[in-house]
Amino acid sequence: MSGTAELLVEPDRLAAELDHTDPPTLLDVRWRLAGPPGRDDYAAGHLPGAVFVDLDTELCGRPGAAGRHPLPDPAALQAALRAVGVRAGHPVVVYDGGDGMSAARAWWTLRWVGHRAVRVLHGGFPAWVAAGLPVSTVAPTPTPGDVTVTPGELPVLDAGEAARLAAAETGVLLDVRAAPRYRGETEPIDPVAGHVPGAVNLPAPEYVSDGRFPSVEALRQRFAAAGVAADAPVGAYCGSGVTAAQAVLALHLAGRPDAALYVGSWSNWVADPDRTVATGGTPGH
């Protein structure tokens, strides 16, 4: 699959790379929206040499009007990445508990700040265990890294840009939440139900299953069916920019490295009561 090896790594390939004298930096970013903390999973067992990174407090900013997982402060992010051993130009592999969402957000964040040599362990920790590979409970002390954070290396959307993309005659804004949330029938997390007017619903399970992606051709077909054209802008949002980061990773796999992330996503959209909310099963304006 063209380009896949630059974005994903299978467990057996990663195991071989970890045997090298200068292996990739391993980051464990396990996370659940409703808890318990991923750090508990890390303590119970992780890939040998992996260092835990907290999605909520180290890879994202503080929740608020900008969303539940807004962009981090660049200086704070640089300090956090250096503390876990991220080095300029040195390969990084991120993994999560198997759904691929927090790993994708970590991948996106590293790419957004200019660190291109980052991959996601395909299938996450469960795939590693299923392959019969070793697990450790030893928390290493990483050598501090020297990565320099340069924000803006991947495209982002704010609320106004997301609205314009959704309303444009060419281009598409994908809402990758579950269909009932998109339609406004239920909203278990945010205070208002519905979707950005003009956004097209493409629930995440339609392009990823248990944290694993189908072939590049299958991804292209699924995105094309949702209205993603090769020569038109595309962006994605979800509840707070985590699942949507996985959609951006899938779009990269499908050959769309220009795909934009609405980082604030729905949690940012509904923070302003003046923003219009659409409901129903079609992209209402």
The tokens for 96 are: 């999560």
Residues 6+ away with beta carbon under 8 Å from 13: none
How many Cβ atoms are within 10 Å of 152's Cβ, its own excluded? Answer: 10
**Catalytic residue at 60?**
no
In SS3 terms, 23-37 reads as: CCEEEECCCCCCCCC
Do residues 150 and 90 touch, judged by C-beta distance below 8 A?
no
Please give the span between the terminal C-alpha atoms of the chain, in angstroms, as a whole number: 37
Choosing from 176, 238, 247, 254, the catalytic residue is 238
Beta bridge partners of 9: 121
Q: In 78-182, where do the E strands start and end?
A: 92-95, 118-121, 156-157, 172-175
> Whose CA is closest to 112, among 84, 145, 147, 144?
147
Rounded distance, CA 246 to CA 186, Å?
23
**Please, which residues have CB within 8 angstroms of residue 132's CB and are 6 or more apart in sequence?**
none
CA distance 28 to 97: 9
- Strands ordered across the beta sheet of 156-157: 156-157, 260-262, 234-237, 172-175, 200-201
Q: How many CA atoms lie within 13 A of 220 on its CB side?
A: 11
What residues are labeled active site? 238
